Amino acid sequence: MVNYCPNVSVIIPIYKVEKLLGECLDSVVAQTLDNIEVICVNDGSPDGSADVAKAYTEKYDFVKLIHKENGGLSSARNAGLEAASGRYVYFLDSDDYIEPDTLEVLMKRADEDDLDIVYFNACPFFESKLIEKNNQNYVNYYKRKGDYPGVYTGQTMFSMMRKNREFLPSACLQLFRKDLLTLNDIRFYPGIVHEDNLFSFQCMAVAARVGYIDRSFYHRRMRDESTVTVKKTMRNVEGYLVSYAEILAFMRDKEVEASSFPKMSEYLYTSVFGNGRRIFRSLDVSNDDAYLNAGDFAADHFLDMIKRSTETEFERSRMKNEIAVLRGKVSELQRELNSIPTYRCKKAVSFFPRKIAGALCCIKDHGFAYTCRLAAKKLVRRLERCRLFGPVIRKLRNLRKRGIAYACRSLWVKPYMKIGGKQPFVSIIMPVYNVESFIAQGIKTLLNQTMKHIEIICVDDGSSDASVEILNRLAAQDHRLKVITQCNKGAGAARNLGIANAKGEYLIFLDSDDFFHSRLAEHTYQVAKQAKADVVLFGAKHYHNVTGQYRNAKWLLNTSVAPAKEPFSYKDCADSLYRITSPCPWTKAFRREFVLEKGLQFQELQNTNDLYFSYAALAMAERIVTVDEALVYYRVGLENNLQTTKKKYPFCFYDACRAWHDKLEELGVLEELRQSYTNAALSTCLFSLNSQKNPEVKQQIFDKLKTEIFYRLELADHDASYFYMRNRYEDMVQILTGTFDEYMNSHS
């Protein structure tokens, strides 16, 4: 007697799908692959689903029907797996369907390459326009863009897919060799949701040979009752935490490839445990009412960690404040102590013995080489503060940073700057609108620049105060100041008019209510000319108009994430380009010919008109350099009409981001800059929402972010690990999944 062994066993759990099951079963019985078995598992469905399946068993001898008490999706799949006799196993959800040649193509690939798992893609279809509108993040979710042509171990494939954020845990998007499941005793965990996260991770971890077919065989139905669209509850938290605990237990005696370990651990923390934590924080559930029905002590332990995390964060914040206060007191006491002559004498006498003792301890703990490097660094820092050696050290650092060509060009750039020419070196362009209280201070700091070969173009944007009179009076005293007037069109139009009238080699765009370092023009031009730069980035400080205090604004120029070698382009820092600087144009200088060649223009928007110009320029520039020094003093604490403008034109930020996104796509650099763009665009969206003071307009922005903006800008297609700041990702998820009132309550 010959045992019947089907090629593929298709397992279909059935529960309350009477109207949809026929379409699913039709797609299976129409498969081009011969010798398959279809196992329908009736999970105690109260409707007529079992009768629909029974009709197919009477018509097709390879369709079977199993009845069981209701136990959930995992329980039904496990029952089907116990009854399966095929060489391969495929799990199909009863409200979806597959292409006619799915099983044939998948099994052929599995047999040819002796694969344990074959991965493939899916395409969603929506039951209504409303469901599609509310679930735009799933439109391209199941379509991988990466290429995985070879045969890999499961862990290597996971690492590659995870790097591209394309590991999809759905069991319906995989064909499994049955021996992989039976030999490793892998089953679906009963009684939880998100069971695929656990099951697929376990299969991947032990699979020796896996492959991928870049084709969407699976058609996933998006409906109100489906697991991906239903509102999140404690069951979702439970599913993730149980999966996390079970994966840790499963992997305890498993060997993990060194190259795959970072991505596997990152996935567990951010996409399994992290999702459980995120959902819990979004729920309005007290700690006493939050409990798990499934799982063991380990899952309960992780839930307890999440409950205590908010309290822990508060305690950490309180301790940081206390430490800051204590450090201030220690510094004050140290200054008082240093003022005592006897203490200063004792400190001087004991200087060398203390240093020698410290060096000996360091050698003992870390070795001689480390101690020498540390001593050298400290010595260089001390010498850099010295007037005699400081300039030499800075020149050596610039030589290392920018190369010998930069140093050689400095030999003729400085004399050239002194001689000058017919045209100005730098054109400073300044839009002016109703700033009579501040304009004189700003213009005087520009007229007193150490570089004299400059022009200052002030474009009055229809001011109704005395700004123009002040400018004309100052222009009469210095021919370098030019005043142009226009009807009120906004700062973007004013800057464009300034570009059209500029003659300098480099353009600097400044705001009319700020004031500036005396060497602003000289420093930026010298570095730009020596490096032949397209764009120069420099720093700024905040000046509070009421308190008169200055504050470092390091986020305006973050050189720690910039490439060590200069000049650089986006290719040298694709993942962090938009972290180096903000979109404000007043911390940048642009080569005029570069601006004209690239056709760069400011958008004529009422606000956020500079984002497109700055970020597009950074993507197109081939040579970018930095001046790590605050050259602009940005005035804050003003009462202005910015909030009125934001209320009247709340979606200018969307227009700017959309133009920026489309420009990157047009240039063909969007994929390379995807992560940096995504983070910067999300920050812009959230800032525009959170800085809006009018509640009605704020809700309008919230609703448009939820239904359109996040999807149009392609921000919702990534998980938490893709974002530099987790709280911004959590805000986006809260906007996408929650209500406006919930968001406001959590940010009050």
For range 53-57, the mean pLDDT: 96
How many angstroms separate the first and last alpha carbons of the chain?
Answer: 74
pLDDT tens column, 412-464: 677 778 777 778 999 999 999 999 999 999 999 999 999 999 999 999 999 99
Residues of the chain with CATH 3.90.550.10: 1-97, 407-640
Measured CA distances, 590 to 476, 534, 594 (Å): 28, 6, 7
User: Out of 209-223, 313-327, 672-686, which region has the weakest mean confidence (pLDDT)?
Assistant: 313-327
Contact yes or no for 81/69 (Cβ under 8 A):
no
- The predicted pLDDT at position 320 comes to 65
Contact yes or no for 672/571 (Cβ under 8 A):
yes
Asked whether the CA dihedral 97, 103, 104, 105 is positive or negative, the reply is: positive
Segment holding 577, helix H or strand E: helix 577-580
- The predicted pLDDT at position 655 comes to 94
pTM of the model: 0.54
DSSP annotation of 570 reads: G
Task: Please tell me which residue, 80 or 288, carries the higher pLDDT value.
Answer: 80
Measured CA distances, 557 to 323, 508, 534, 622, 628 (Å): 27, 16, 17, 19, 7
User: CA-to-CA distance for 661 and 685, rounded, in angstroms?
Assistant: 13
Is 29's pLDDT higher than 90? Answer: yes
Q: Tell me which residue has tokens 């001593």.
A: 375
For the domain bounded by 407-640, which CATH number is listed?
3.90.550.10
DSSP annotation of 571 reads: G
DSSP annotation of 48 reads: S
Is 402's pLDDT higher than 80? Answer: no
Q: Where are the beta strands (DSSP E) in 338-395?
A: none
- Backbone dihedral angles phi then psi of residue 567, each to the nearest 5 degrees: -70, 160
Is 227's pLDDT higher than 70? Answer: no
Share of the chain above pLDDT 90, in %: 59
pLDDT, the chain, mean: 89
User: CA-to-CA distance for 281 and 657, rounded, in angstroms?
Assistant: 30
Q: What is the DSSP string of 423-447?
A: S-SEEEEEEESS-TTTHHHHHHHHH
Both tokens of 273, joined, read 């445990």
CATH architecture entry for 1-97: Alpha-Beta Complex (3.90)
User: CA-to-CA distance for 462 and 457, rounded, in angstroms?
Assistant: 15
Is 232's pLDDT higher than 60? Answer: yes
DSSP annotation of 609 reads: -
Segment holding 174, helix H or strand E: strand 174-177
Share of the chain above pLDDT 70, in %: 94
User: CA-to-CA distance for 747 and 657, rounded, in angstroms?
Assistant: 24
Q: Tell me which residue has tokens 């009854």.
A: 83
User: CA-to-CA distance for 658 and 680, rounded, in angstroms?
Assistant: 13
Is 121's pLDDT higher than 50? Answer: yes
Task: Please tell me which residue, 127 or 594, carries the higher pLDDT value.
Answer: 594
Is 559's pLDDT higher than 90? Answer: no
- The predicted pLDDT at position 358 comes to 86
User: CA-to-CA distance for 183 and 178, rounded, in angstroms?
Assistant: 9
Both tokens of 146, joined, read 């990466």
Query: What crossing angle do the helices spanning 234-250 and 274-282 adopt, rounded to 10°?
Result: 160
Is 740's pLDDT higher than 70? Answer: yes
pLDDT tens column, 259-302: 999 899 989 988 899 888 888 877 877 777 888 888 888 988 88
In this prediction, residue 364 has a pLDDT band, given cuts at 50, 70 and 90, of: confident
